[in-house]
Amino acid sequence: MIMIPEAVEGHLSKIEQAAPEVVRAVHVVGSAALGDHNPASSDLDLVVELDRVPDTEDLLAIADAHGAGVDVDALYFLPGELAKPWREAATAWWAREGELRDSRPTYQPDAVTWLQLATTAVTVRGDRPASPADVPAAREACRHTLHSYWQPLLAQAASMAQTTPVLLWTGLGMPRVWHTARTGEIVSKTRGAELAGLVWPDLAAPLRELTAVRADRSIPVTEVHAAAVHEVGRRILGDMTDH
C-alpha cells in the first residue's frame, strides 16, 4: 500500500480554509504515488481538479498554500479537463518551488502527465480521473526530453564532478525517463536505476549506491559514482539514438 505524505492533506487544508469547496479532486503523481518519496529530497507532485473557475481570492489562497514551506508542485485544471485527451485539455494554473507561476492558466497539458493519471496516480480526494493515456506520445515526449533537457544537464554534471544534488538528479532521473521512453511504463527513480543496472550490470552497484545516498546524504559520493552517472547518461543517449 502506498503511503501518501501527510503534507498533502496539510496543503489542501490551507487552500480550503481560505477558499472553501474550490477543490473537486486531487491526484498524487511522481515519487509519492510510486512509493519512492523521500522527505529530504523529494517534492510532492499533485494534479488538482478545481470545482470552479478560480477568482482572485481562490488564486491567492492557492498561492499562499504554496508559500507555506512545504515543497509542493501542482497543476490546477478546470472541471472536466482531465477526462479529455491531453491535446484537447485547456491550459492549467501551475505552481512550482513554492510559487504560483502566473495568475493566468499557462501550463500546457502533456502526454506524460496524462499517462501518470491513467496508470500510477493515487487519488486522495474526489473521483479518479478517466484520463485517456496516449502511450506513443508519452514515449516520444520522454525521448525528446532526454535530448533537449537531460543531455545538456549531463554535460553540466561533467563540469561539476561530485556535486551531489546534480549527480543524484541526473544519475537517477535519466534512467527513469529512459525506461518510459523505451516501454511506456512510469517508474520511480529507484526502479529506474535498478532497471538500468539490469541492462548494464557494470553500473548496477554505483547506481544502487546513489539511491542510498538519496535517502541518506551523509553517505559520501565518490569519483566512482560521478563516473557512473556520466556513463549511464552516455549509454542512455546512445540507446535512444539506436532506437
The residues spanned by each domain of the chain are 6-125, 135-242
Say what the pLDDT of residue 3 is: 64
* pLDDT confidence tier of residue 185, bands split at 50, 70 and 90: very high
Torsion of CA 212, 213, 216, 219, to 10 degrees: 110
Between 202 and 18, name the one with better pLDDT: 202
Give the least confident one: 9-13, 62-66, 120-124, 178-182: 9-13
Provide the strand spans (E) within the chain.
23-29, 44-50, 72-77, 93-96, 99-100, 122-125
- Look at residue 195 and tell me whether its pLDDT is greater than 80: yes
- Look at residue 70 and tell me whether its pLDDT is greater than 70: no
Tell me the mean pLDDT in the region 175-189. 97
Reported pTM? 0.91
Say what the pLDDT of residue 162 is: 57
- Look at residue 28 and tell me whether its pLDDT is greater than 80: yes
Say what the pLDDT of residue 68 is: 65
The SS3 of residue 92 is strand
* pLDDT confidence tier of residue 159, bands split at 50, 70 and 90: low
- Look at residue 69 and tell me whether its pLDDT is greater than 70: no
Say what the pLDDT of residue 196 is: 97
Nearest residue to 113 (alpha-carbon basis) of 15, 180, 183, 196 = 180
Which residue in this structure is represented by grid cell 512545504? 70
- Look at residue 39 and tell me whether its pLDDT is greater than 80: no
* pLDDT confidence tier of residue 1, bands split at 50, 70 and 90: low
> Quick one: cell of 146?
532526454
CATH class given for the domain over 6-125:
alpha beta
Q: Determine the Cα–Cα distance for residues 194 and 174; give it in Å rounded to an integer.
A: 12
Tell me the mean pLDDT in the region 12-34. 88
> Quick one: cell of 167?
549527480
**Which of the residue ranges 147-161, 181-195, 220-234 has the most confident prediction, judged by mean pLDDT?**
181-195
Cβ atoms within 10 A of the Cβ of 16, count? Answer: 15
Q: Express each pLDDT in 209-230 by its tens digit.
A: 999 988 887 888 888 998 999 9
- Look at residue 4 and tell me whether its pLDDT is greater than 80: no
**Percent of the chain surpassing pLDDT 70:** 93
> Quick one: cell of 33?
504515488
Say what the pLDDT of residue 98 is: 82
Q: Determine the Cα–Cα distance for residues 15 and 6; give it in Å rounded to an integer.
A: 15
CB 227 within 8 A of CB 207: no
> Quick one: cell of 126?
474526489
Say what the pLDDT of residue 27 is: 95
- Look at residue 41 and tell me whether its pLDDT is greater than 80: no
